[in-house]
Amino acid sequence: MRAFVLMILVLNLVLFAWYYFGGESQLSEFAPPPRPLEPSVSTLVLVEETPLAKPQVAGRSAEVVQQKPAVAERAPVEVVEALAPQPEPAAAVENEEKAPPPKIARCYKVGPFEKREQPAELVELVERYGFDAAITAKEVERLFGNWIYLTEYDTIQSARADMKALKEQGIKDVAIARLDDGQLIISLGIYGQQQSLKRRLSELKKLGYVNYQTKKRYRKGEAFWLVLSGFEGAQQQIMVDELGVVLSERSPAAKLTTVGCS
């Protein structure tokens, strides 16, 4: 046992001496080369190896501190840019400027007509130009003619005497009547044409009757209008011109007027 312990001690002394006097240099030849440092990893430098005026470790930490505020300052700028209103595309603005103007409605009234058939003949004409047509009717008083009568009769006998004398002189269609106020007269009829009216008055003057009177007489009836509705444009002007020519030929009394669209 003592021999084994002494052998171990001798071996340790031999290894120690071999390592101390020549083994360290031989081991360094088989040692692996140092691993290259990555560019982003800073080299560890001892404080003793650097000048006191410019310590690298302190300098790098200062650089990191200076970079942090720069990143923090950009965040609000990016948010403001995202929330800022974007300008409208130029194409959209041009489309709004080139939008067609709104159409303006325009309505007309044509009349009056004495018979419904007269405006009905014009419906096809106006609808050809894209207009809507409607016929309306209204109760009116039309001039029936001029009434001629003789006045200044106090009794029925004096009126009968003049009526008999008129018939003998060729003036027929005479009759004794009373006005609304009870006045006694001799009626000579109603004349719708001015030519007939003037001829009868001339005959009375020649016979010596100067006590004649004339009064316009009216009667109730219906009048008809053609109401047109459409939009302003070239077609409208063509329709107005053509309709004016037709009215002057067929119904000179009817007029074309502009009215509000209801």
The pLDDT, as a whole number, for residue 71 is: 44
Nearest Cα to Cα of residue 197 among 141, 159, 161, 149 = 149
The Cα angle at residue 216 between residues 211 and 220, in degrees rounded to 5: 150
Question: Which residue is listed with tokens 């009870």?
Answer: 182
Low-confidence winner among 1-10, 16-25, 183-192 (lowest mean pLDDT): 16-25
Average pLDDT, the chain: 77
The Cα angle at residue 255 between residues 194 and 122, in degrees rounded to 5: 110
The contacts of residue 182 (CB under 8 Å, 6+ apart) are none
pTM, 2 dp: 0.47
Alpha carbons 114 and 107: distance in angstroms, whole number? 22
> How many alpha carbons lie under 13 Å from residue 199 in its C-beta half-sphere?
8
DSSP per residue over 208-257, as a string? T---EEEEEEEEEEEEEEEEEEEESSHHHHHHHHHHHHHHHHH-TT-EEE
Q: 3.40.50.1820, 1.10.940.10, 3.40.50.1110, 3.30.70.600: which CATH number matches 105-140+222-259?
A: 3.30.70.600
pLDDT per residue as tens digits for the range 189-241: 999 999 999 999 999 999 999 999 999 999 999 999 999 998 888 888 888 89
Mean local confidence (pLDDT), 1-21: 71
The pLDDT, as a whole number, for residue 55 is: 46
Low-confidence winner among 40-44, 114-118, 171-175 (lowest mean pLDDT): 40-44
Interstrand relation of 105-113 and 255-259 (parallel, antiparallel or unpaired): antiparallel
Q: Per-residue pLDDT for 100 more than 60?
A: yes
pLDDT per residue as tens digits for the range 45-97: 545 554 554 444 444 444 444 444 444 445 454 444 445 556 555 555 555 56
